[in-house]
Chains A and B, each alone.
Chain A
Amino acid sequence: GAGVSQTPSNKVTEKGKYVELRCDPISGHTALYWYRQSLGQGPEFLIYFQGTGAADDSGLPNDRFFAVRPEGSVSTLKIQRTERGDSAVYLCASSLSGQMNTGELFFGEGSRLTVL
């Protein structure tokens, strides 16, 4: 596709369950980012991949959160033992190289996670 694709668009789960959120970036973009956005707030950085490796995971809130990008394209964000506070929209973004000299990221529409 032409843009960043995220699935599912909506996910409702129960406290304590495991969830996976998928991101398919723009073809050819080596840099991939996960952000989390709560209502009325700006996107909050979680993790940055350059190719297959996590170049910066300093934004992951705790060890229940993990992300992979095994082939340098599609990425999966994994959340274990979900808590109600994990409810948010999880945004994925990609960019051509990861260089911040253009300030431009291409975002998907996000996966809305609701933990009951």
Chain B
Amino acid sequence: GQSLEQPSEVTAVEGAIVQINCTYQTSGFYGLSWYQQHDGGAPTFLSYNALDGLEETGRFSSFLSRSDSYGYLLLQELQMKDSASYFCAFSNQAGTALIFGKGTTLSVSS
């Protein structure tokens, strides 16, 4: 079957660095996406890794290891506005939709 596992909650303070891990199980893997969702808001796309390695976009970076079926989202210089839920996701086997993990709630305190 297909599954994604990520921690349910992470807490950190402003200015810190936090890593949100995601392990997955699937066949026919295309790549791993990350989304951010604030309370009551729309999920918004952050990054996508198709190949092994680190992708950097400003304060956010995403890493993928296909051999380990593992990825992570790294958030640096945390700000209060980063408090949100973060989801990893991958394509279903038919390539017709994204399958999402249950999400990690990040709480950033001052």
| Chain A residues within CB distance 8 Å of chain B | 3-4, 33, 35, 40-45, 48, 55-56, 58-59, 91, 93, 98-110
Across-interface contacts of A58 in B (CB, < 8 A): 94
Contact A100 B43 (CB under 8 A): no
Bound Cα distance from A99 to B101, whole angstroms: 20
| Chain B residues within CB distance 8 Å of chain A | 30-33, 40-45, 48, 50, 87, 89-92, 94-103
Contact B31 A103 (CB under 8 A): yes
Chain A binding surface SS class: loop
Bound Cα distance from A99 to B99, whole angstroms: 14
Contact B91 A100 (CB under 8 A): yes
Bound Cα distance from A107 to B30, whole angstroms: 21
Bound Cα distance from A101 to B45, whole angstroms: 14
Residue on B with the closest CB to A45? B97
Across-interface contacts of A101 in B (CB, < 8 A): 30-31, 50
Q: A46 CB to closest chain B CB, in angstroms?
A: 9
Q: B86 CB to closest chain A CB, in angstroms?
A: 10
Contact B96 A98 (CB under 8 A): yes
Contact B43 A91 (CB under 8 A): yes
Bound Cα distance from A101 to B92, whole angstroms: 12
From A35, A43, A103, give the contact of B91 (CB < 8 A). A103
Contact B102 A41 (CB under 8 A): yes
From B43, B92, B101, give the contact of A107 (CB < 8 A). B43
Residue among B43, B87, B90, B97 facing the most chain A CB atoms (10 A cut-off): B97
